[in-house]
Structure 1
Amino acid sequence: MSLYKDLHAFYVQCTCNGMARLSRTSRRLCSYKVLPLAVLFCMCVILAVLILHLTVVLEAEDTFNDGREGIEEGETVQKDVESGNVEEVIKLESLKDEAKKVFDNRPPELINNRDCQVRNFVFIKCMKCATETMGTILRRFALKNKLSVLLPRGLNIYLGWPYMMESSDYRPSSSPSGYRYYNCLIEHAIYNASVMKALFPHQTRFISIIREPWSHFKSTFNYFNMQKLAHIVSDTPLSTYLQDINTYEKIYKSPEAASYRYCIPDGFSVTKNLMCHCLGMKTGFPEGTADISKNTRAVQDFLNWTENEFALIMIAEYFHESLVLLKRMMCWTMKDIIYKRVNSAKYKYEENDGDRAIHERWSRADYQMYNFFNESFWEKVIYQGKTFNQEVQVFTRIQNSVNVFCNFSTDPSAKVDAMFNVTKDILSIPTTKFSLDFTFTQDDCELLSSDLLSTLKEQHEENIKYEDKDPPKRTC
């Protein structure tokens, strides 16, 4: 209030009513025609000061509110991963302005219309990062909404992976005549911005998912049966492999091992910077191409570029948080993101001290990438506000109940949540502030378990009378 009193006194001095307080020169000024201009000038000064003062007050208030919200939002997120309980502390100080880019136009929590629904997307599958589980979600969405999917030719399951995708790798679009674009890509393909953007509409969302590199390496080692491919005779095959990694790499990548490898061409490494390769980074494959993986600055430049290219990079260790972010970004429903976990194997390797450090040096670009996108992931989570964790909890209760209803659960004591109504044939989910009510039937369960890639191919062939007589066979 003192500011306003001072301004009022100043105004009085600039008017004839305050002439008694002014000097002889000032009184003479008020007596002439200059007075209106002087008064106008004073009013402009007062207005400018008031605007400046209000701006400072509002900025201070915003800062206070942001800080208060951060205190309310900051919390510890605990997840159960293979190595045990991992604790992630989310701090407000890590929030960056870039986190707002994707969600500036996010829809209301309770979606009553479908106008905002995103139907054009490209999903880049990073090998062994819960990508096939993601496939059960995305293929089902594409099938339900009759989208034009960019599909591999013939019986192929990859779109040229691990090579760059070429026109000979995919089928023609099933979109209406004259419309050359596809709606979505789901199967394994290496990200290629110029090629892919030419095949999809302008507003297409690019998404992917990555995994903690050490966990990713162990999963890859098991999935591709590296012990057999590299002829490792040891009770500790993982450690043995790492202790002489260059020797064993040459063995499994050699032409002599080709007949035992599954979908891996000669010379391609599945243990070194595999996730970076899937996202399009130059890693030296095919032979003769550039390799920037050892250049920390070049890798960082690539990551900065990738962050601008992709709307969302999900994290496999935080799968439910990832799916809720996806739901909000794509304006999808809770039912759209229900999944069945697939290709999830149980394995255990004895590890020696120093094994992880060896792999981190060997595949350091993947570690650099994971750290970068793990940070940006939590920035996006923080930006969602206090309702985000609530929605994750609601989704987890729904997903667990679907697992029981569909007989997917491996826990014999698990039961459908008491807040849901269930019969033998129907699971009914009531309306929440995050989703309208919906039902899940046994047909929905069967759809989650179906080979939808084959179904999508059959649908494609029926729609355009397509017959693939001579598909390429570079990999799978």
Structure 2
Amino acid sequence: MSLYKDLQAFYVQCTCSRSSKRFCTYKMLPLLVLLCTCLVLAMLILHLTVILETEENIYNVKEGMGEGETEQKEEDAGNVEEVIKLESLKDEAKKVFNNRPPELINNRDCQVHNFVFIKCMKCATETMGTILRRYALKNKLSVLLPRGINIYLGWPYMMESSDYRPSSSPSGNRYYNCLIEHAIYNASVMKSLFPHQTRFISIVREPWSHFKSTFHYFNMQKLAHIVSDTPLSTYLQDIDTYEKIYKSPEAASHRYCIPDRFSVTKNLMCHCLGMKTGFPEGMMDISKNSRAVQDFLNWTENEFALIMIAEYFHESLVLLKRMMCWTMKDIIYKRVNSAKYRYEENDGDQAIHQRWSRADYQMYNFFNESFWEKVIYQGKTFVQEVQVFTKIQNAVNVFCNFSTDSIKMDPMFNVTKTVLKIPTTKFSLDFTFTLEECELLSSDLLSALKEQHEEHSKYEDKDPPKRTC
């Protein structure tokens, strides 16, 4: 109030007569200094407030993730340290992810039908595949499918036109709505097959747990002829020798779907995302050049709308739901292709693998950081939605008898022998889940999609290729 009175008196004195102009000129400079000082102080206070709010938001997100942590992790998956970058969020994240209020989240008019899912081998991709196939089947989408009885789209080679079936689009155009099966990312080829606004998505996994899963799934101990009580450590201690044995033509008859000279232990995730890793023979290999790898990752970040993280599966699904404007029911799943195994490890084993497959580690750290930036941008409601989804998923697991854990049904759900009723929440309209839908979660939907394709396009394979599977 005193500042206001001083300004008023000054104004009166300056405007009373011409004789006061000199006085006004003399007094003007300190007054301007005072006003500028007040303005600077106000801006500093505002900046400090924004910083405090940002730190509180980050704390709340991390705390909520701890409370709502999912139970879908494999037994051997280690805890992954959350790396959150305190910088401005990427513009692309702001374009793709909108912190939609509930009325828009439940608006089916905004849902996205066009997507390409790049399956990085052994990254919960088959579980993701069941979700996406079910969505494609329900919405009668034109899916880019392998020919004949094949299950891969040329993987681990680049996809060629001889690997896939023609489009079954009702309009008769050459475009597809979605791609779900194993294929190596190829921007020029894939973008020519899908509409302009198609969303490209993928999922990656912490490289050390990914290596152990791969070692088990592809039966590396047997195929590399390892006789040891600690096969994983034995393999790593002489990795060059055992890699040659595993990749040799002599092991081909027992090496399911993997061609000669292709490594499933070295930078496998990077290869699936399209990085040049030296395969096929004669191809350039940039995996040992950290700067070239970083350039590739920066480019990939711009190409993909979302790279999910297997260790944070529920958080990934909720991000996907928001980005695609899907419903809670669309992302319900059953875990598939997961196994329990345990390997005795020695000190230094992980360090050996990190040197061996360092591009995958660099890639994982990069996309883990990018993932949490997108989570932070969602705000506090995101944590709440993950918790709500986890409750619904647990209820479905109990209802469908998918869970072996003694999880009790939350009283918010109404259940009978044949129907599970999920009430309306802040993030989802009410819906039901039936025993028939439980069976659908366990079905071979790739075969169902092929049947749907053949019905719509009158397609018949005469000579399907057989490079891999």
TM-score by length of 2: 0.90
- After superposing the two structures, state which structure 1 stretch, 73-82 or 257-266, moved more: 73-82
Q: Counterpart amino acid of 2:245?
A: I
1:256 shift after superposition: 1.1
1:307 shift after superposition: 0.8
- Is the CA contact (8 Å cut-off) linking 2:120 and 2:204 kept in structure 1? yes
Which of residues 279, 285, 291 in structure 2 aligns to 1:291? 285
Question: In structure 2, what is the equivalent of residue 461 of structure 1?
Answer: 454
Offset from partner CA, 1:217-275 (integer Å, 9 cap, x none): 11111111111111111121111111111111111111111111110011100000000
Within a 5 Å distance, the mapping from 1:3-42 to structure 2 comes to 8=8, 11-12=11-12, 15=15, 17=16, 19=18, 21-23=20-22
Question: In structure 1, what is the equivalent of residue 145 of structure 2?
Answer: 151
CA gap of 1:20–1:349, structure 2 versus 1, over 3 A, is same
CA gap of 1:14–1:409, structure 2 versus 1, over 3 A, is same
SS at match of 2:464: coil
1:346 shift after superposition: 1.2
Question: In structure 2, what is the equivalent of residue 86 of structure 1?
Answer: 79
Question: In structure 2, what is the equivalent of residue 393 of structure 1?
Answer: 387
Which of residues 63, 67, 70 in structure 2 aligns to 1:75? 63
Q: Distance in 1 between matches of 2:99 and 2:163?
A: 35
Q: Distance in 1 between matches of 2:432 and 2:87?
A: 37
SS at match of 1:218: helix
- Is the CA contact (8 Å cut-off) linking 1:106 and 1:331 kept in structure 2? no
Which of residues 84, 90, 102 in structure 2 aligns to 1:98? 90
Question: In structure 2, what is the equivalent of residue 196 of structure 1?
Answer: 190
Question: In structure 2, what is the equivalent of residue 433 of structure 1?
Answer: 426
1:388 shift after superposition: 1.3
Q: Distance in 2 between matches of 1:53 and 1:72?
A: 29
RMSD: 2.7
Offset from partner CA, 1:23-79 (integer Å, 9 cap, x none): 4999xxxxxxxxxxxxxxxxxxxx999999987776565445435544544537445
Q: Counterpart amino acid of 1:439?
A: T
Q: Distance in 2 between matches of 1:463 and 1:163?
A: 29
Q: Counterpart amino acid of 2:89?
A: D
- Is the CA contact (8 Å cut-off) linking 2:175 and 2:193 kept in structure 1? yes
Q: Which 4+ residue blocks in structure 1 deviate beyond 6 angstroms?
A: 47-57
1:6 shift after superposition: 6.3
Q: Counterpart amino acid of 2:339?
A: A
Offset from partner CA, 1:358-377 (integer Å, 9 cap, x none): 11100000011111111111
1:148 shift after superposition: 0.6
Which of residues 58, 66, 69 in structure 1 aligns to 2:54? 66
CA gap of 1:294–1:396, structure 2 versus 1, over 3 A, is same
Within a 5 Å distance, the mapping from 1:442-457 to structure 2 comes to 442-457=435-450
Which of 1 and 2 has higher RCO (CA within 8 Å, sep 6+)?
2
Question: In structure 2, what is the equivalent of residue 305 of structure 1?
Answer: 299
Question: In structure 1, what is the equivalent of residue 28 of structure 2?
Answer: none
- Is the CA contact (8 Å cut-off) linking 1:102 and 1:311 kept in structure 2? no
Q: Distance in 2 between matches of 1:337 and 1:192?
A: 26
- Is the CA contact (8 Å cut-off) linking 2:74 and 2:338 kept in structure 1? no
Q: Counterpart amino acid of 2:63?
A: E
Which of residues 116, 121, 124 in structure 2 aligns to 1:127? 121
1:102 shift after superposition: 4.8
Which of residues 234, 248, 253 in structure 2 aligns to 1:254? 248
2:342 aligned with 1:348, yes or no?
yes
2:405 aligned with 1:417, yes or no?
no
Q: Distance in 2 between matches of 1:223 and 1:207?
A: 24
1:179 shift after superposition: 2.0
CA gap of 1:130–1:459, structure 2 versus 1, over 3 A, is same
- After superposing the two structures, state which structure 1 stretch, 17-26 or 454-463, moved more: 17-26
Q: Distance in 1 between matches of 2:77 and 2:90?
A: 32
Unmatched 5+ stretches in structure 1: 27-46
1:427 shift after superposition: 0.1
Question: In structure 1, what is the equivalent of residue 100 of structure 2?
Answer: 107
Which of residues 154, 160, 164 in structure 2 aligns to 1:166? 160
Which of residues 115, 136, 151 in structure 2 aligns to 1:142? 136
1:95 shift after superposition: 4.8
CA gap of 1:225–1:74, structure 2 versus 1, over 3 A, is closer
1:107 shift after superposition: 2.9
Greater radius of gyration (CA): 1
- Is the CA contact (8 Å cut-off) linking 2:328 and 2:428 kept in structure 1? yes
- Is the CA contact (8 Å cut-off) linking 2:145 and 2:450 kept in structure 1? yes
Q: Tell me the matched-pair count.
A: 455
SS at match of 1:75: helix
Unmatched 5+ stretches in structure 2: 26-34
Offset from partner CA, 1:282-302 (integer Å, 9 cap, x none): 000000010000001111111
- Is the CA contact (8 Å cut-off) linking 2:61 and 2:383 kept in structure 1? no
- Is the CA contact (8 Å cut-off) linking 1:77 and 1:88 kept in structure 2? no
- Is the CA contact (8 Å cut-off) linking 2:76 and 2:341 kept in structure 1? no
CA gap of 1:89–1:260, structure 2 versus 1, over 3 A, is closer
Question: In structure 1, what is the equivalent of residue 378 of structure 2?
Answer: 384
Within a 5 Å distance, the mapping from 1:184-223 to structure 2 comes to 184-223=178-217
CA gap of 1:112–1:228, structure 2 versus 1, over 3 A, is closer
Question: In structure 2, what is the equivalent of residue 374 of structure 1?
Answer: 368
SS at match of 1:268: coil
- Is the CA contact (8 Å cut-off) linking 1:74 and 1:90 kept in structure 2? no
Q: Distance in 2 between matches of 1:251 and 1:367?
A: 25
Q: Counterpart amino acid of 1:98?
A: K
CA gap of 1:14–1:105, structure 2 versus 1, over 3 A, is farther
Q: Counterpart amino acid of 1:75?
A: E
